[in-house]
Amino acid sequence: MIASDGINPKNRDYATGSTVTYQCNPRRVLGGSITNLCTNNVWSNPAPVCYQDCVDHQNCSDNVEFGYCNHPEYVEDNQEYCTMSCGFCTTCSEAPASQNVTSTPTGPYVQGQRVNYTCESGSIVGESLNICLGEDQWLNEGPDCSVPVSLSCDFESGLCDFTDDLSAEFSWTLNNGSTRSQATGPSADHTLGTDEGHYMYIETSAPRQLNDKARLVSPTLPPTVGECLQFYYHMNGSSIGTLKVYLKKTTLPNEVIWSLSGSQGDVWHYGSETIASTEQFQVVFEGTVGENKDQELFRGDIAIDDVTTERGYCTT
């Protein structure tokens, strides 16, 4: 690798304010920032690397070593440069990444192949692109996903990274206006108080069965010594079952922190509970199907809205 002045950057000193532009040897690809700025004896970017890009050379014969060479043999059929004198293109196995980071595409990877990172929840912290340099070496360390520090969801713009627990018997539903069953569920949301506002609810009509459960799971939250979970719930109907709230943790059993059963009238109620956890956790809302004296299930729609967390202990 050479700098714009033709001198290897390792072989000279640069004054504060100097800018270096990097250039790889012919038929090599530069990975990383093409420029660097010296400020107070510190460079603005990590040093880039030059690597052999083998991604476009996978159509060469299986028994032929391939790569970029000074005097390649030109193969007209696939317009690849193949040669018997080049070194092998090596591979990488798994792309480095922390938990909850998804790598696309999946491995194994050929030298020069690019990988994009996405987060299941939160946003990427670090580089969202990586390149296999061969022999399980990568251009960057794997990124992480940011963890939201609090919850704040009125469901007006979607689910706010809440997800359904697919191991439960059924799912929560995003809705506005009334639910499809009479004499149960809200007719308006809590946030706007109109039939245009949105909330989440469980629909208990057929094919639901008694004691079926639906679980709505929050994004992962960081450890806390005291956080106030606040939400609004609507539990109206002759066959209302149970609404539970619990904490889901990685290494500890799930902890029920709030529970209520039976009809509470056709009104939104305020609920709160102080949360404390020594590890990352998720908040889970679990609705269970109940029945009335006539063994009817469909008048058991339970709804929630305006879920938030705030630092400090709950006062009400």
Which CATH number is 218's domain given? 2.60.120.200
Q: Look at residue 306 and tell me if it is in a domain.
A: yes
Q: Are 69 and 85 in contact (CB under 8 A)?
A: yes
Q: Look at residue 117 and tell me if it is in a domain.
A: no
Q: What pLDDT is stored for residue 307 in this prediction?
A: 98
Q: Are 273 and 257 in contact (CB under 8 A)?
A: yes
Placement of tokens 């902890």 in the chain: 255
Indicate if 41 and 176 belong to the same structural domain: no
Token pair in block for residue 263: 């009809």
Q: Look at residue 122 and tell me if it is in a domain.
A: no
Lowest mean pLDDT among 74-83, 101-110, 252-261, 292-301: 74-83
Q: 292, 284, 222: which is closest to 259 by C-alpha?
A: 284
3-state SS class at 257: strand
User: Residue 66 contacts by C-beta under 8 Å, 6 or more apart in sequence?
Assistant: 54, 57, 60, 80, 81, 82, 83, 86, 89
Q: What mean pLDDT is predicted for residues 149-166?
A: 93
Q: Look at residue 228 and tell me if it is in a domain.
A: yes
Compute CA 80 distance to the chain's CA centroid, rounded to the nearest angstrom.
38
Q: What are phi and psi of 11, to 5 degrees?
A: -100, 15
pLDDT band at 62 (very low <50, low <70, confident <90, very high): very low
Is the model's pLDDT at 77 over the cut of 70? no
Q: Look at residue 93 and tell me if it is in a domain.
A: no
CA atoms lying within 13 Å on the CB side of residue 246: 14
Burial 219-255 (b: 16+ CB within 10 A, else e): bbbeebeebbbbbbbbbbbbbbbbbbbbbbbeeeeee
Total structural domains in the chain? 2
* Residue with more model confidence, 179 or 145: 179
Indicate if 181 and 34 belong to the same structural domain: no
Placement of tokens 């059924």 in the chain: 170
Q: Look at residue 89 and tell me if it is in a domain.
A: no
Q: Look at residue 302 and tell me if it is in a domain.
A: yes
Q: What is the pLDDT of residues 238-279, one digit of tens each?
A: 999 999 999 998 877 889 999 999 999 999 999 999 999 988
Indicate if 184 and 297 belong to the same structural domain: yes
Q: Are 263 and 185 in contact (CB under 8 A)?
A: no
Indicate if 157 and 33 belong to the same structural domain: no
Q: What pLDDT is stored for residue 53 in this prediction?
A: 67
CATH of the domain at 20: 2.10.70.10
Indicate if 193 and 307 belong to the same structural domain: yes
> CA 55 to CA 46: how far, in whole Å?
24
Domain boundaries, position 181: 152-311
pLDDT band at 167 (very low <50, low <70, confident <90, very high): very high
Is the model's pLDDT at 86 over the cut of 70? no
- Which letter does DSSP use for residue 139 in this model? S
* Residue with more model confidence, 121 or 235: 235
Q: Look at residue 243 and tell me if it is in a domain.
A: yes
* Residue with more model confidence, 293 or 83: 293
User: Residue 181 contacts by C-beta under 8 Å, 6 or more apart in sequence?
Assistant: 203, 204, 205, 237, 298, 299, 301
* Residue with more model confidence, 149 or 305: 305
Q: Rg of the chain over CA atoms, in angstroms?
A: 29
Is the model's pLDDT at 33 over the cut of 90? no
Indicate if 186 and 43 belong to the same structural domain: no
> CA 235 to CA 302: how far, in whole Å?
5
pLDDT band at 288 (very low <50, low <70, confident <90, very high): very high
Token pair in block for residue 89: 């293109």
Q: What pLDDT is stored for residue 66 in this prediction?
A: 39
Is the bond preceding residue 207 a cis peptide, omega within 30 degrees?
A: yes
Is the model's pLDDT at 117 over the cut of 70? yes
Q: What pLDDT is stored for residue 199 in this prediction?
A: 98
Placement of tokens 């080049």 in the chain: 86
Pairing relation of β-strands 281-288 and 269-277? unpaired
Is the model's pLDDT at 21 over the cut of 50? yes
pLDDT band at 69 (very low <50, low <70, confident <90, very high): very low
Is the model's pLDDT at 13 over the cut of 50? yes
Indicate if 174 and 35 belong to the same structural domain: no
Q: What mean pLDDT is predicted for residues 146-173?
A: 91
Q: What pLDDT is stored for residue 147 in this prediction?
A: 67
Placement of tokens 């990444």 in the chain: 97
Q: What pLDDT is stored for residue 79 in this prediction?
A: 36
Indicate if 296 and 165 belong to the same structural domain: yes
* Residue with more model confidence, 309 or 118: 309
> CA 311 to CA 316: how far, in whole Å?
14
Mean pLDDT computed over every residue of the chain: 82
Placement of tokens 């032929």 in the chain: 64
- In this prediction the pTM is 0.58
Is the model's pLDDT at 214 over the cut of 60? yes
